[in-house]
Amino acid sequence: MTHSLPFSGVESQILSQVPLNRRTTWRIGGVTRWLATPKNCEELAQLWRQSADDIPRFLLGGGSNILVEDSGFNGLAVNLSQHINQIKLLDDDEGLQIMAEAGASTSALAHFARLHSLTGAEFLGGIPGTIGGAVKMNAGANGGDIAKILINAQLLDCNGNSHIWPVEKLGLGYRKSQIPKGWIFVKGTFKLKHGEQKAIKEKMRQFNQHRLKSQPLNYASAGSTFKNPTKGPAAWKLIDDAGFRGMRIGDAQVSEKHSNFLVNLGKATSYDMLALIDKIREKVIQKTGESLNLEVAILGPQGFRGKDL
């Protein structure tokens, strides 16, 4: 169902009561009250300016790093994948810079770079989701992360005004950024290096092989559920040692293949997943004193729990 109120004068398509379980990789969650898919950056700015401050709102990328509660989201979700997804080579002296918009997929950027014989973005090839989500989370793998290749970003503040920030200002760290609350990443410039296309392709193939071997990619998940502690054993090891491999609550299960991947066997609810998360945290802290922090963000009716945006 399309819906224009309460965003008067905004032309973007706005659907109402849209199930979010079909738009997240965990396949869990209730409906969002509205979902907007702006046609271009001007419409996005207009929408952001005009959606009242008292309406909860958030940017939905590929939904590969969020757990939406069964009660859904009582506000405006905005998705840029459909229209704000351009990737192009920039006209710099060395031909090393790429502009990518927030809604483009991370793997599209990796393949675009490969086609232009540019190296440095291979790690993005197997990470699901969009450039927007990847910048917000400083996504990374195989020794690479967004912070290493992004040079600047165009952002919209809460009132829809545009700002260009150098990467240093974004505060990118281990699976986090300090993009201010309520701001949107719209597009970024990435700087890569010249490389050999065959070698780039081979690197991407190897990264994907490793993923296939080590991750339960045939099940719905959000990747690693917990962040690795700054020192000591990785999260998967702590979960494993606490005896959780294969443990199940309803249809939420700790993967047999990778203990930091919690998978949805089919009909898991957010209630099941959160119960499993709580159980793991409780046991790990009891056993090791280590408090596991979530990598995934939890979205409830009023927004992200304990998080910005």
Ligand X SMILES: Cc1cc2nc3c(=O)[nH]c(=O)nc-3n(C[C@H](O)[C@H](O)[C@H](O)COP(=O)(O)OP(=O)(O)OC[C@H]3O[C@@H](n4cnc5c(N)ncnc54)[C@H](O)[C@@H]3O)c2cc1C
CB of 150 or CB of 297, closer to ligand X: 297
Our CA angle for 108, 205, 185, nearest 5°, is 25
Q: Is 175 a catalytic residue?
A: yes
Q: Residue 226: phi, psi to the nearest 5?
A: -110, 150
CB of 50 to ligand X, least distance (A): 18
Annotated active-site residue in 23, 57, 114, 175: 175
Q: How many Cβ atoms from other residues are within 10 Å of residue 86's Cβ?
A: 12
C-beta of 77: minimal distance to ligand X in Å? 9
**Which chain residues interact with ligand X by CB under 6 A?**
25, 58-66, 80, 102, 127-130, 132-134, 136-137, 139-141, 175, 179, 184-185, 215, 217, 221-223, 297, 309
Q: By the 8 A CB rule, do 60 and 103 touch?
A: no
Give whichever of 79 and 97 is closer to ligand X, judged by the CB atom. Answer: 79
Q: 61: exposed, middle or buried (C-beta count within 10 Å: 0-12, 13-18, 19+)?
A: buried
> Please, what is the minimum distance in Å from the beta carbon of residue 290 to ligand X?
21
Which of 71, 197 has the CB closer to ligand X?
A: 71
Candidates 69, 101, 122, 295; catalytic one? 295
The closest of 93, 147, 85 to 120, measured between CA atoms, is 147
* Minimal distance, residue 20 CB to ligand X, in Å: 10
Q: Which is nearer to ligand X, 103 or 118 (CB)?
A: 103
Shortest distance, position 211 Cβ to ligand X, whole Å: 7
Indicate which residue of 224, 255, 259, 270 is catalytic: 224
Closer CB to ligand X, 106 or 283, in the complex: 106
The residues annotated with a catalytic role in the active site are 175, 224, 295
